[in-house]
Amino acid sequence: MSIASGLLAAVRSRARRAGGRAVHRGWRWVREHGAVTGASPGPYRFGELGDGSKLAFPTGTIFNEGSIRIGPFCIIGEQVTLSAGFLPGLDLGPEPVITIGGGCVIGRGSHLVGHQSIVLGDDVWTGPNVYISDQAHEYRDTTLPIGKQWPRNEPVEIGAGSWIGTGAVILPGARLGRNVVVAAGSVVRGEVPDFSVVAGAPARVVRSYSELEGWQPPFRNPAPTPLPEGVTAEQLRALVGWDLRPPGEV
């Protein structure tokens, strides 16, 4: 390779690296400034968007957000669909169609599709690609396409403190109690009692808790060792071996 060719290759390599850095810096800027918050709602006018809550950019499909209420300190991941009603621009009345409590985390790529009532209690967390809907199509008339048959609405409620695993589907009429775990890929319908774990399609209870018997069946692995009482932040940093201080803290 000649000296000129080598210099040209080096220049091109540096240009590619510089271009890559510029693209990533630009995308970080877009994500930061495109995020939806109460202070910076963009084009959206939610019925409620609590303090400290944020919808990551890029958002998914969002329409009729006036019928959607989001409590404080929620994190809504990228590409999350929040839709109320059949079509954009509908007047759905004063009552919310989708209500998300405080402290909720909705994983990226999830869908909350409401037509009558979907209620998530406080501190409900979901993994990615979870689907929750309160509407299903009927299939009674064999002469009509199923998509054109009149749907059926049944309210959905997910109790506070619950965890919905990746890829789970919550069907119309599902009512989950408090602190329920839904295993990844499960399909949930009907009533789910408090303090239980459900799995499968259709989902069934595979573990539950009662004050009399504790967890049944019992856990096979030991509980994590809790931190000793009175451990200071400095001691924890020394134990872990990492600098856990926030940026800028001396």
Provide mean pLDDT across the span 122-127.
Answer: 97
Amino acid 240: pLDDT: 65
107 or 227: which carries more pLDDT confidence?
107
Query: What is the reported pLDDT for 246?
Result: 53
pLDDT score at 249: 55
Please state, rounded to an integer, the average pLDDT across all residues of the chain: 91
> How high is the pLDDT of residue 48?
96
What is the per-residue pLDDT for 238? 75
- What local confidence, expressed as pLDDT, does residue 242 receive? 59
Separation between Cα atoms, residue 208 and residue 211, nearest integer Å: 10
pLDDT at 112 over 90: yes
3-state secondary structure the chain: CCHHHHHHHHHHHHHHHHHHHHHHHHHHHHHHHHCEECCCCCCCCCCEECCCCEECCCCCCEECHHHEEECCCCEECCCCEEEECCCCCCCCCCCCCEEECCCCEECCCCEEEECCCEEECCCCEECCCCEEECEEECCCCCCCCHHHCCEEECCEEECCCCEECCCCEECCCCEECCCCEECCCCEECCEECCCEEEEECCEEEEEEEECCCEEECCCCCCCCCCCCCCCCHHHHHHHHCCCCCCCCCC
Per DSSP, what are the bridge partners of residue 114? 84
pLDDT tens by residue, 222-248: 888 877 788 887 777 776 665 555 555
Q: What is the pLDDT of residues 16-44, one digit of tens each?
A: 888 889 989 998 999 999 999 999 999 99
- Give, in degrees to the nearest 5, the angle at Cα 68 between 30 and 190: 120
pLDDT of residue 61: 95
- Out of 24, 111, 115, 137, the active site residue is 137
Q: Which residue has better confidence, 14 or 179?
A: 179
Predicted confidence at residue 189, as pLDDT, reads 96
Q: How far apart are CA 166 and CA 162, in angstroms?
A: 13
Active site residue 24: no
**Residue 208: what pLDDT?**
96
pLDDT tens digits for range 50-101: 999 999 999 999 999 999 999 999 999 999 999 999 889 988 999 999 999 9
- How large is the average pLDDT for residues 137-162? 94
pLDDT tier for residue 45 given thresholds of 50, 70 and 90:
very high
* Structure confidence at residue 2 (pLDDT): 74
Q: Is the pTM of this model over 0.95?
A: no
The pLDDT of residue 15: 80
Q: Tell me, what's the pLDDT at 183?
A: 98
